[in-house]
Amino acid sequence: MKIYWKGFEELREANDKATGNEFPHELPIVLNKQSKGSSRRDFLKTFGFTIAGATIAASCERPITKAIPFLIKPEEIIPGKSNYYASTFFDGELHQSILVKVRDGRPIKIEGNDLAPMSNGGTNGIVQGSVLELYDNNRYRGPLSHGEEVSWEDLDKKISEQMAGADGKIVLLSGGIISPTTNNSIKEFLSAYDNSEHIVYDPVSHNSIREANHQVFGLNSIPEYRFDKAEVILSFGADFLGTWISPTEFSFQYIQNRKPTEDNPAMSRHIQIESGMSMTGSNADQRITIKPSREKAILANLLAFLINESELDSFTGKLPESPIDIKVLAEELLNHKNKSLVICGSNDTESQMMVNGINYLLGSYGNTINFDRSLHSCQGVDSSIENLVKEMNEGKVSGIIFYNSNPAYDYSDRDAFLKGFQNLDFSISLSYTTDETSKLCQFVCPDHHFLESWNDAEPKDGLFSLCQPAIRNIFNTRQAQESLLTWTGKDVAFDDYLKKFWEENIYPLSGSDMDFRAFWNKYLHDGILEIPASSKLKPSIGSGQLLEILGSLALEKEGETELILYTPVSVGTGKHANNPWLQENPDPVSKVVWDNYAAVSPKYADENGLNTGDVIKINGKYEIPVLLQPGQMYGTISVALGYGREEGGKASIGTGRNFYPLVRTEKGQRKYFSTVEFEKTGKTYDLASTQMHHSMEGRALIRETNLDEYKKDPAAGNEIHEEIELRLDSLYEKHEFAGHHWGLSVDLSSCTGCNACVVACNAENNVPVVGKEQVKLGREMHWIRIDRYYSGDPESPEVLRQPVMCQHCDNAPCENVCPVAATTRSSEGVNQMIYNRCVGTRYCNNNCPYKVRRFNWFDFNKADSIPKNTVDPFDLTLDLPRMVLNPDVTVRAKGVMEKCTFCLQRVQEKKLNAKLEDRVLEDGEIKTACQQVCPTQALTFGDLNDENSDLSKHVRNPRNYHLLEEIHTLPSVSYLTKIRNKSGEA
């Protein structure tokens, strides 16, 4: 047999020790078992996977014995070159249009789709991490019946019998669904069974917004928010940059108006009123802390003030006392009438109604908020699951099909659910991976991972996004929709079903003049179809309605200690808890990884004798370690949801604690705060954090200024830059880089600290996950980190952030000291690390003033020649998760230093492309992984030698400076000063 090899080393190794299996037995690859006729894509997938396997084997220093060559090479596949397929990510909460990077048959990276109007090419950490979930060890390998492996046919038979014989309700309990085709298939399914119902359940509910809009405007929808059009943004506890509704979209919009230039020094003003320090709050120009129970009071006062200011009405009733002076706030908002935006994160219809009123009075509708393209996510109605559980306990439900929902974990009254579960005749889980609910279910009919699936999405009215498989299903799984259709009695492949649905429903809508085939191919290629917004909805409020809202307010009682439950930015609501990349992605504010914790304000902690690491017991039951969180409201405790999974794999089980049980339901609405009691337990617990020191110690690391100052002097805050530049004399000539001189610029004003870049870098560069214990020791391996500092009063600090990666210094202190010359300068000004040459003295890292070098303390990647010494707490070195490795990037062995390479492989790829096409490399063509992912486009990569490059323009910007420039390291990475808009601060 012919041997395929990719380099001399491999060939030699293959010959040297032609032992071992290329495909170990554990990898269950079943080819062509499903008979649906083999399409061209199937063929690609099959062969692609073969090559993928070979590549994985190769990248893991395994000997190659067999590889099957292409008999006929598919035209679009060139071994060693990546293909990108447009697709869509939607996990029930978060939607994003994406491109899947498929290399030799396996998806290895997700990029944002530049055509997508919502994300504009950005993605967030969860989406970045989702590719790893494709290769989750914890996935179901095939259908199960009572825990036993069965064939699909047998299982379908059993299920059909069960359903046919159901005397009670059959409920499909799903997560959010925004796919019209899926909805159609569900509709068909429901119509096949009389007593069936579809319930949408969101673990973290935003239902009150729909409810409020419904009550106020008669529109049961979530409008489109336009942060880019707002000059003043007032957010009540909504973490819209991190987790609220559509954070990536909002981040992009938000930052559009926050990149002041000398020509246009305009910038929005962002005021955040919240209890815990959220990522969004940490970016605010002004941040006001309150107890969550006081939010309504402020809203009411604000609304009343605005009513009274307007000609509409006047409110004379009694108002609850506001904890803050709302007058200044209101005046600021009024000064920017039609250009302000008020949002609220609370799941409380009254609050949302008041917000609607405020926005209405401020003229936001039609300007910063509109209903033309309302959002389709967050459809879950809180009361429906309440009813379901009630009915389950009453025995009215025969069976539930769990589709992308996991109430056994994230439903607050878990005991009631479990009790009701006993009464079910049958239970079916469509989950593709083990979770708490699927473990309980009789039948498990595992869904494809979304990267293996056909699907579509309509995140907003008239905005469609297609989802296509980037790999043949790895395991014996079946797409959930197909399962439903099968049980409906339809034997149809979902891709055909999808195509048909589009041909019949969406193609006509689009008004396209292409024939459907061309139409389909185009939008499958693009991934995005946008149909012009249909109507111009202008909501209106009757005059008495506002007073009515105010008049019937039900105020919460202020508690001594109030608990706030929030969704963490890095891990989300818990669905992705088994993703080690996400678990090790630090919280944007606290920098804690692998845990949730009780955030307490320093002063409150002091008064209660608490310190970081002390374990407290909340409501006598829930133990959790304390973290002193500057900026936390006094008298409140914030705890993240999404942790403490009991099933779901190594990375999630036992990581943090489940606080869903503390979600409270009031008037059929789930509330994410409550008054609690807590006591010290005397126990302590070590939280793992990637940053231990939180003050900049007065050093000019992050240079910031206020907009007013900036308008006067664009170099404001950065005055010392020029002074230092003048002093940068050297004892020797600077090396000139004749061709390219790569550099990177980071706009500190734009960085929101979401850490998506960290996950993207992990995925792109095969950065190992080290686990909680190693992070505690300060050994995380991230090549890029976002430093976060606090300044000012610990009770209400300002937050500063700075992404730091290898600075690629021209005078690199690290290079000088490596005894074996394993780190040197490339001819293009990149500080390169030669892994093969590295002997691991760590001298370079000691000498690095930026401490961006990362050492392989253990054999994290199973790339070592010594057996049985791998430190891999999450089995990422098993063959399956290894499929995610980027074959362009070497996997580093134990004892080797590594660091940011400026994504050299990307630079090289684009350079080669340009060379092959015989053209000059264009500016902006090369994007580093961190740059590409960034939802706010805070990073710019380019050529310093090219005077016209965006990067060079940044470097010439008076805001530009280098980190620690006074020590003459001459970094290629530069920063633009952070600008805040504190003008008119109350």
Partner 1 sequence: MKNNIKEDKKLVSGYYEHPDDLIDAVRVIREKELPIEDIFTPFPIHGLDEIAGLRKSRIPTLGFIFGLIGSISAFGFMTWVFTVDYPLIIGGKPYFSVPAFIPITFEVTILFAALAMVFGFLIRSKLGMGAKNRIYDKKITDDHFLVLLKGDSSTLLESAKQVLSATGAMDVKIIED
Partner 2 sequence: MDQTFEFKQKYKVVLAVLLGIGILSLVYSIFSVESGRIWANVLLNNIYFLAFALIGFVFISVHIVGQAGWHTSIQRIPEAMGSFLPVAAVLMAILLFGMHDIYHWTHEHHDPILEGKAAYLNAPFFIIRMVIYFGGWIFFGWKLRSLSVKSDLDPDLKYFKKSIYYAGAFLVFFAITSSTASWDWIMSIDAHWYSTIFGWYIFISIFVSGIAVIILLVIFLQSQGYMSHVNKEHLHDLGKYLFGFSVFWMYLWFSQYMLIWYANIPEETVYFIQRIEEYNFLFYGNFLINFFAPFLILIHRKAPRLKRVMVIGAIIVFIGHWIDLYLAIMPGVLGDKASIGITEIGLTIGYVGLFLWVVFRSLAKAKLVPVNHPFFKESLEYHNL
Partner 3 sequence: MYVSPVRETLITGNKTYKDVTNDISNPVEGKPGKFWYLGITISVIALFFGLFATIITIWYGIGTWGLNKTIGWGFSITTFVWWIGIGHAGTFISAILLLFRQRWRTSINRAAEAMTIFAVLCASVFPLIHMGRILLFFFMFPYPNTRHLWVNFNSPLLWDVFAITTYFIVSLLFWYMGLLPDLGSLRDRAKTRMRKISYRLLSFGWTGSMKHWQRHEILSLMLAGLAAPLVLSVHSIVSFDFATSVIPGWHTTIFPPYFVAGAIFSGFAMVQTLMIITRKALHLENYITLGHISSMNKIIILTGSIVGVAYLTELFMAWYSGVEYEHYAFINRATGPYWFAYWIMMTCNVVSPQLFWFKKIRRNPMITFVISIFINIGMWFERFVIIVTSLHRDYLPSSWSIYKPTIIEIGLFIGTLGLFFTGYFLFIKFFPVIAIAEVKSIIIVDRSKKQVKNADSEK
Residues lying near partner 3 in the complex (CB under 8 A): 691-699, 701, 774, 777-780, 785, 787-789, 802, 804, 813, 816-821, 837-843, 845-847, 849-851, 853-859, 864, 866, 869, 871, 893-897, 963-964, 967, 969
* Choice between 8 and 732, CB closer to partner 2: 732
CB of 697 to partner 2, least distance (A): 16
Asked if 968 interacts with partner 2 (CB under 8 A), we say: yes
Q: What is the DSSP letter of 627?
A: E
Looking up tokens 């249009």 gives 97
Query: Cα separation of 580 and 569, whole Å?
Result: 14
Query: Cα separation of 139 and 123, whole Å?
Result: 24
839 binds, among partner 1, partner 2, partner 3, none (CB under 5 to 8 A by kind): partner 3
734 binds, among partner 3, partner 1, partner 2, none (CB under 5 to 8 A by kind): partner 1
Query: Cα separation of 468 and 484, whole Å?
Result: 19
What residue type is 677 in one-letter code?
A: E
Asked if 813 interacts with partner 2 (CB under 8 A), we say: yes
Quote the longest CA-to-CA distance of the chain.
89
Residue 827: half-sphere exposure toward Cβ, Cα within 13 Å? 2
Site for partner 2 in 816-845 (CB under 8 A): 816
Helices (H), 462-570: 480-488, 494-501, 507-510, 516-526, 543-551
Nearest to 566 by CA among 630, 634, 639, 632: 639
At 130, is the secondary structure helix, strand, or coil? helix
* Choice between 75 and 729, CB closer to partner 2: 729
920 binds, among partner 1, partner 3, partner 2, none (CB under 5 to 8 A by kind): none
190 binds, among partner 1, partner 2, partner 3, none (CB under 5 to 8 A by kind): none
* Choice between 692 and 916, CB closer to partner 3: 692
729 binds, among partner 3, partner 1, partner 2, none (CB under 5 to 8 A by kind): partner 2
Site for partner 2 in 71-110 (CB under 8 A): none
* Choice between 462 and 849, CB closer to partner 2: 849
Query: Cα separation of 243 and 565, whole Å?
Result: 13
Query: Cα separation of 663 and 670, whole Å?
Result: 7
* Choice between 192 and 967, CB closer to partner 2: 967
* Choice between 661 and 813, CB closer to partner 2: 813
Distances (CA, A) of 910 to 628, 832, 925: 46, 18, 7
Asked if 846 interacts with partner 2 (CB under 8 A), we say: no
* Choice between 927 and 962, CB closer to partner 1: 962
The continuous run of DSSP H or E covering 980 comes out as: strand 978-980
191 binds, among partner 3, partner 1, partner 2, none (CB under 5 to 8 A by kind): none
681 binds, among partner 3, partner 1, partner 2, none (CB under 5 to 8 A by kind): none
Under 8 Å CB-to-CB from 430, ≥6 apart: which residues? 401, 402, 403, 404, 445, 446, 447, 480, 483
CB of 837 to partner 1, least distance (A): 11
* Choice between 738 and 866, CB closer to partner 1: 738
Query: Cα separation of 334 and 164, whole Å?
Result: 61
Neighbours of 595 (CB within 10 A): 25
* Residue 416, token pair as written in the block: 């009631």
727 binds, among partner 2, partner 1, partner 3, none (CB under 5 to 8 A by kind): partner 2
534 binds, among partner 2, partner 1, partner 3, none (CB under 5 to 8 A by kind): none
CB of 464 to partner 1, least distance (A): 52
Query: Cα separation of 914 and 917, whole Å?
Result: 5
The continuous run of DSSP H or E covering 13 comes out as: helix 8-16
Asked if 21 interacts with partner 2 (CB under 8 A), we say: no
* Choice between 110 and 973, CB closer to partner 1: 973
Q: Out of 967, 982, 983, 984, point to the residue binding partner 2 (CB under 8 A).
A: 967
927 binds, among partner 2, partner 1, partner 3, none (CB under 5 to 8 A by kind): none
Nearest to 137 by CA among 880, 762, 883: 880
The continuous run of DSSP H or E covering 746 comes out as: strand 742-747
Question: Exposed/middle/buried for 302, CB within 10 Å: 0-12, 13-18, 19+?
Answer: buried
Interacting residues toward partner 1 by CB under 8 A: 730, 732-735, 809-818, 821, 824-825, 827, 970
* Choice between 733 and 918, CB closer to partner 1: 733
Report the relative pairing of strands 978-980 and 939-943 from DSSP bridges. unpaired
Asked if 190 interacts with partner 2 (CB under 8 A), we say: no
Q: Out of 76, 148, 167, 729, point to the residue binding partner 2 (CB under 8 A).
A: 729
CB of 729 to partner 2, least distance (A): 5
Under 8 Å CB-to-CB from 847, ≥6 apart: which residues? 813, 814, 816, 817
Query: Cα separation of 613 and 682, whole Å?
Result: 10
Asked if 811 interacts with partner 2 (CB under 8 A), we say: yes
CB of 867 to partner 3, least distance (A): 9
CB of 877 to partner 3, least distance (A): 15
Distances (CA, A) of 622 to 171, 186, 592, 611, 657: 32, 39, 20, 18, 8
Task: Please provide the size of the chain in residues.
Answer: 986
CB of 921 to partner 1, least distance (A): 22
853 binds, among partner 1, partner 3, partner 2, none (CB under 5 to 8 A by kind): partner 3
CB 365 within 8 A of CB 383: no
Q: How many helices (H) and strands (E) does the chain have?
A: 32, 42
The continuous run of DSSP H or E covering 669 comes out as: strand 669-671
728 binds, among partner 3, partner 2, partner 1, none (CB under 5 to 8 A by kind): partner 2
* Choice between 155 and 963, CB closer to partner 3: 963
Asked if 32 interacts with partner 2 (CB under 8 A), we say: no
Site stretch for partner 2 (CB under 8 A), options 115-123, 164-172, 706-714, 722-730? 722-730
Which residues are at the interface with partner 2 (CB under 8 A)?
Answer: 724, 727-732, 811, 813, 816, 966-968
